Amino acid sequence: MSLTLSHLPSKKDIKVVYPRSPSTIDPNNPPWPAFRGYHTYSFAYATMGHRLPTILGKAIDDVIETLNQESEEEKVVDLVQCIERMDKLKEDLHAHARLRPIIDDGEADVALWNKEIAKYFQGKDFMNAPWLFAEAYKYRRLRECFSVSKYWHHYDVFFRQKCDTFARSNDAVFELSTRFVEPFKHQEGLADDAKLEAERLMFMELTQICLWGNSTDLSLLINMTEEQIKSLQSTGGENLAATEKNILGNHMARLWEVVKEMRNKTGGRVDFVLDNAGFELYCDCVYADFLIQSGLAKEVRFHGKRYPWFVSDVTKKDWNWLLNSMVYGHLFRNASDQEVESLRRLGLRWKQYEQEGKWVYEQHPFWCTGYTFWDLHNEAPDLFLHLSRSDLVIFKGDLNHRKLTYDCAAPSSTEFEVAIGPMASAAGAPRVCSMRTIKSDVVVGLGSDGDELSERLEKEEPGWKISGKYAVVLLSEGRPGEKVRFA
């Protein structure tokens, strides 16, 4: 029997108003619609269904290589168990299994993870949980495969790949080391105006080097040839001028004003929330070096991850590896003596900064969670307070950008300040800059014509959001200097 509902009011086409108001936002009710793995034609789907299993498969191959070189029985058996756990994780991913709590493996972030799972993701699986959380969760589960072991607690399944890509970046590495080996100083006899202009130009170019250094992301370079990597890393001047037009949201001029202002106050503190190890980290350090030498900053703090994360993210081991291989390594067999010496001297200078406390490396547990940075204020108040004391916090890369913007489908014309919510609006929020080559769906900060631009690119260049060809450098003024408050 079917009912005829002819006397009821007609159905209304309700439009949801975005962004949702901050008090109603949680991971299941994001400010704009979230990306999820089950959106079949999305990059989220491609990542959850294809990229992550491939990444995991390669990670298992890496462990097998290590296993084949191990001779002690206890260690061999222990490592075999790590592989079994990785196989189980691969199965779970494949079967779209439900997200279970993280085992208490002694890591500092277990409570943060399990609280979030219990509050928002009970019964959710790898595909229907928001993409950002599901993807981060996979890396936490991968960590667990090793953190519960006896001998392989600190094993990094991505370490070999990270080292290899840096070792294959010789052209770009020496291009920079031979230019920056000597401490920065002005040409003789320049007037003050000319000095400032020279610094501005250098700052602009180095900002682009730091930005495009983010193109080299291992999780996306799985099938790239050496030539393709080299062309991505090209740091020649002409190339930089051409690439500036690909920075679709470009606040670099404002950024220069900010750092100039910092110097007027005897040099500020700049924080880098790092992304990838190897070449990108090297570019970040070249940039940070210039900030110190030009007096724009007197202190730089680098924030890395506590364990292997999204394939190529920087850990303390990667940080040490970079500096030590620059100073002592033999990575570049075909390099000239002059090139090797330039790299060694650059590395020595950076180590010196560390000893003098001008450069500080930090690793807060919050960076390896599934929370977005809208939650940084509530879930990591100590970290928020710490960052609020910085003059400028630079977030590198795509993942950090996704976390800043809650990884959801905000229109491209959305102002960056609006898209990052409390990281701009909370009292005491620091100045924030996102330097990101666009490698996933969320794109904001393109200005008032941003929606049209986005639509046009979608038609003309499908895939423009994941190619890494385009970028943004976006700045939020925040509310620096105001007293930080927690409810």
Ligand X SMILES: O=P(O)(O)OC[C@H]1O[C@](O)(CO)[C@@H](O)[C@@H]1O
Give the footprint of ligand X on this chain (CB under 6 A): 47, 51, 135, 214, 217, 219-220, 275-276, 310, 397-399, 402, 439-440
CA atoms within 13 A on the CB side of 435: 29
Distance in angstroms (rounded) separating the CA atoms of residues 367 and 376: 9
**Is the CB of 271 or the CB of 339 nearer to ligand X?**
271
Residue 312 buriedness (CB in 10 A; 0-12 / 13-18 / 19+): buried
- List the beta bridge partners of residue 276: 313
Distance in angstroms (rounded) separating the CA atoms of residues 12 and 419: 29
Q: Shortest gap between Cβ of 286 and ligand X (angstroms)?
A: 18
Distance in angstroms (rounded) separating the CA atoms of residues 450 and 470: 14
What one-letter code names the amino acid at 105?
D
Which helix (DSSP H) or strand (DSSP E) does residue 395 occupy? strand 392-396
**Is the CB of 126 or the CB of 174 nearer to ligand X?**
126
Q: Shortest gap between Cβ of 255 and ligand X (angstroms)?
A: 19
DSSP 156-215: -TTHHHHHHHHHT-HHHHHHHHHHHSSPP-PPTT--HHHHHHHHHHHHHHHHHHHHHGGG
Q: Shortest gap between Cβ of 165 and ligand X (angstroms)?
A: 12
- List the beta bridge partners of residue 433: 394, 475
Distance in angstroms (rounded) separating the CA atoms of residues 485 and 476: 19
Q: Shortest gap between Cβ of 256 and ligand X (angstroms)?
A: 23
Q: Shortest gap between Cβ of 201 and ligand X (angstroms)?
A: 26
**Is the CB of 276 or the CB of 476 nearer to ligand X?**
276
Q: Shortest gap between Cβ of 308 and ligand X (angstroms)?
A: 13
Distance in angstroms (rounded) separating the CA atoms of residues 476 and 287: 20
**Is the CB of 377 or the CB of 403 nearer to ligand X?**
403
Q: Shortest gap between Cβ of 136 and ligand X (angstroms)?
A: 9
**Is the CB of 113 or the CB of 139 nearer to ligand X?**
139
Q: Shortest gap between Cβ of 215 and ligand X (angstroms)?
A: 8
Q: Which residues contact 72 (CB under 8 A, 6 or more apart)?
A: none
**Is the CB of 47 or the CB of 372 nearer to ligand X?**
47
**Is the CB of 257 or the CB of 458 nearer to ligand X?**
458
**Is the CB of 199 or the CB of 313 nearer to ligand X?**
313
Distance in angstroms (rounded) separating the CA atoms of residues 300 and 269: 6
